[in-house]
């Protein structure tokens, strides 16, 4: 089979059988086009003729040349290639998975940007006004910081997912996984004010769907709109470095402030919905300064 035919079959498999998201399909297609160009340049015209060295050379080529890719982008491209070869072996197109042992480039550790508690308060205060939009925006931001939810999880909350009596909310995370997390009283107050004073008017403009957070037309608030809410609040608040505030900023703050306050990593892992504790440990860097201060004040040899 030609590499082109294998890629076409693989993308069809992702679309029809796996139901992969549009963005995922677009990324895989772009990365695999690069791979096909690489194989053509090396004179490889049959999938069976691809060797481990060809795959390794592809990774090297991505990281070199006039416009080298970042390590994370090269690692993503290799993941697409690995998926292609794994699919080909499972479907009996290949006898051996030559991409399995090719190591991705090391991705440098990127520490998340976290605001201080005072900066978060300043950010939350950026939602000013009594209209439907400001009340909804305040509820959104309070929920993000109170629960550590991803923006996609926050906009996915339905009315029945919020349990005000027990102060919890059901979040639907990656891969369809669900988790129940606590909600703080300030967030519940913001949500209650939105439900009483804003949502009924917004819902009347649409079909009265189950979504907690509605847009101006009465439909579910989108991820993109929620991202703009966060960016607008950051700019209005005057928080230093507001241009760097991202969709994950309040999630980062949730994790780092919990850890700095004494929460253990395993608990924060559960609250964030991380599959691996190693992902959660990225946030522990923020507590290092605090630990250093405690060490300097408490250990008899700290200043020696």
Give yes or no: 177 in active site.
no
Is the dihedral angle over the CA atoms 201, 205, 210, 215 positive or is it negative? negative
Place of tokens 């630990």: 291
248 is a catalytic site residue = yes
| Cβ count near 7 (within 10 Å) | 22
Q: Is 174 marked active-site?
A: yes
Distance from the Cα of residue 212 to its chain's centroid = 21
Q: Which of 63, 86, 248, 285 is catalytic?
A: 248
In three-state secondary structure terms, 11 is: helix
274 an active-site residue? yes
What is the rounded CA–CA span in Å between residue 271 and residue 257?
13
- Name the nearest CA neighbour of 214 among 172, 142, 155: 155
Residue among 150, 172, 199, 220 flagged as catalytic: 150
Which residue among the candidates 174, 189, 217, 299 is catalytic per the annotation? 174
C-alpha closest to that of 158 among 209, 205, 193: 209
The answer to whether 100 and 88 are in contact (CB under 8 A) is no
Q: Is 150 a catalytic residue?
A: yes
Q: Which of 172, 251, 252, 257 is catalytic?
A: 251
Catalytic residues: 150, 174, 248, 251, 274, 283
């Amino acid at each position: 089979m030609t590499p082109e035919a294998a890629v076409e079959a693989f993308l069809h498999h992702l679309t029809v059988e796996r139901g992969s998201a549009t963005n995922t399909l677009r990324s895989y297609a772009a990365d695999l086009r690069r791979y096909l160009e690489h194989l053509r340049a090396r004179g490889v015209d049959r999938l069976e003729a691809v060797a481990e060295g060809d795959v390794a050379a592809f990774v090297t080529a991505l990281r070199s040349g006039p416009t080298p890719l970042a390590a994370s982008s090269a690692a993503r491209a290799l993941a697409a290639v690995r998926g292609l070869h794994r699919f080909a072996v499972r479907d009996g197109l290949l006898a051996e998975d030559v991409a399995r042992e090719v190591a991705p480039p090391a991705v440098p550790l990127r520490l998340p940007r976290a605001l201080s508690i005072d900066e978060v308060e300043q950010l939350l205060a950026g939602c000013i006004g009594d209209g439907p939009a400001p009340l909804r925006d305040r509820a959104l931001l309070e929920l993000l910081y109170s629960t550590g939810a991803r923006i996609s999880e926050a906009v996915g909350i339905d009315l029945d997912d919020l349990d005000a009596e027990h102060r919890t909310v059901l979040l639907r995370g990656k891969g369809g996984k669900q988790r129940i997390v606590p909600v703080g009283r300030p967030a519940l107050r913001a949500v209650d004010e939105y439900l009483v004073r804003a949502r009924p008017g917004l819902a009347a403009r649409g079909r009265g769907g189950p979504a907690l957070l509605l847009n101006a037309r009465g439909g579910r608030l989108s991820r993109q709109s929620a991202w703009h809410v966060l960016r607008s609040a950051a700019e209005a608040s005057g928080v230093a470095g507001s241009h760097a505030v991202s969709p994950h900023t309040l999630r980062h703050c949730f994790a780092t402030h919990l850890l700095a306050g004494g929460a253990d990593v395993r608990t924060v892992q559960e609250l964030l919905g991380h599959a691996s504790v190693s992902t959660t440990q990225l946030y522990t860097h923020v507590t290092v300064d605090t630990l250093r201060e405690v060490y300097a004040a408490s250990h008899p040899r700290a200043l020696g």
